[in-house]
Amino acid sequence: MSLLDEARRRLKAGDVVAIPTETVYGLAADIQQDAGLKRVFSVKERPFFDPLIVHIDSIDKARALTTEWTEIHQALALKCWPGPLTLIAPKLPNMNPLITSGLTEVGLRCPRHPLTLELLKDFDGLAAPSANKFGKTSPTTAEHVRGEFGETVLVLDGGACDVGIESTVAAVVRAGGRWKVMVYRPGFYTAATLHDILENAGLPTETSYAESPVAPGQLEHHYMPPIPVLVGEKVDVHELLEASQKKLKKTFHAQARLDLGSDPALAARTFYQSLRDLTPGHDAIIVMLTAEQRKDENWRALMNRLYKAASFRA
């Protein structure tokens, strides 16, 4: 039996499997298997209030899981799928409430990875948050997943993730009699990019950023490595160290420096790997930000992950 066949068998039996995507590795369960969905939460030690994203391999399957799929959903899916965009839509009434944490909407995404797309052909959908313990650093290689869960979780090894951070999460909402696109979690696709896609499709639509419990990863602290991440925004290194040691009541003797560079896509692709690589032998990770990194929309997704991973900012 191939590894892919074994993954299918386990998922249909109510188990979980770690799957590769272009963003991060996911811990997947069949959306039709209550036992598998419960196991996602138990294995991750994830609270039930945090919703799951459903992965599908076609727009038709996405439409089949919703009660309203607008022309805006369709235009974005046609342009961005397979890819790192999750679209929020009203869920079917009979969808397992574990997937949506009891909310009325569901996040849907078609991932851009051939191994996972092949697996998805045999399912109505796979619910899959990142394959790590809740709140910790997301995995971008199969080795990261094995390091987190050992032999308790079957891992489909699809190599290193191309994008490296979680997908953009966007909802299509009606406000003031008009449709708007709200980006609930920044990612590879910025609000400006989604706006341009819709305008080019003949559907000019206002797009903006907001927060919502419909999107996962909304807690203040998330993606955190075992040692503190210290982020300098408006102070120098010495001021950052002095202020962080006072606030955290710790003395740091072996700090590592993480330079994000000038390319936001490359920085995002290597961010979680860098946090893991810098942890051994150090007691803190220092990240000093430039004005561009703090303010440019192209850096917004990575700043979102960095700020949530941070133990201290100044």
Question: Hey, what are 251's tokens?
Answer: 């003395």
User: Among residues 153, 169, 185, which one ends one of the domains?
Assistant: 169
pLDDT at 47: 86
**146-156 b/e with 16+ CB inside 10 Å = b?**
bebbeeebbbb
Asked whether residue 133 carries a pLDDT value surpassing 60, the answer given is yes
Per-residue pLDDT of 155-189, as tens digits, reads: 999 999 999 999 999 999 998 889 999 999 999 99
In a domain, 223, yes or no: no
**Sequential DSSP letters for 134-166:** TTBPPP-SHHHHHHHHGGGSEE----S-SS-SP
Regarding whether 245 and 147 lie in a shared domain, the answer is: no
Please compute the mean of the pLDDT values over residues 111-116 and round it to a whole number.
97
Query: In whole angstroms, what separates CA 171 from the centre of its chain?
Result: 15
In a domain, 182, yes or no: no
**Sequential DSSP letters for 60-90:** HHHHHTBS---HHHHHHHHHH-SSSEEEEEE
In a domain, 222, yes or no: no
Q: Write down the mean pLDDT value for the chain.
A: 95
Per-residue pLDDT of 185-229, as tens digits, reads: 999 999 999 999 999 999 999 999 997 665 565 555 678 899 999
Peptide bond into 280 cis (omega under 30): no
Range of the domain at 258: 229-313
Domain count, the chain: 2
pLDDT at 175: 82
Residue 92: CB atoms within 10 Å: 11
Q: Residue 39 maps to which CATH number?
A: 3.90.870.10
> Is the pLDDT higher at 244 or at 216?
244
Regarding whether 91 and 12 lie in a shared domain, the answer is: yes
In a domain, 251, yes or no: yes
In a domain, 133, yes or no: yes
The 8-class DSSP code of residue 210 comes to -
pLDDT at 177: 84
In a domain, 158, yes or no: yes
Vertex 66, ends 39 and 223: CA angle to 5°?
A: 45
**Sequential DSSP letters for 106-123:** EEEE----HHHHHHHTTS
Regarding whether 161 and 92 lie in a shared domain, the answer is: yes
pLDDT at 222: 78
Per-residue pLDDT of 97-113, as tens digits, reads: 999 999 999 999 999 99
Closest alpha carbon to 190 in 163, 164, 173, 170: 170
pLDDT at 1: 74
Asked whether residue 232 carries a pLDDT value surpassing 60, the answer given is yes
Regarding whether 272 and 153 lie in a shared domain, the answer is: no
Question: Hey, what are 257's tokens?
Answer: 């420096």
Regarding whether 151 and 60 lie in a shared domain, the answer is: yes
CB-side neighbour CA atoms (13 Å) of 51 = 25
pLDDT at 48: 85
Cβ–Cβ < 8 Å for 180, 193: no
Regarding whether 239 and 128 lie in a shared domain, the answer is: no
Determine the straight-line distance between the first and last CA of the chain, rounded to whole angstroms: 54
User: Among residues 127, 151, 169, which one ends one of the domains?
Assistant: 169
pLDDT at 121: 98
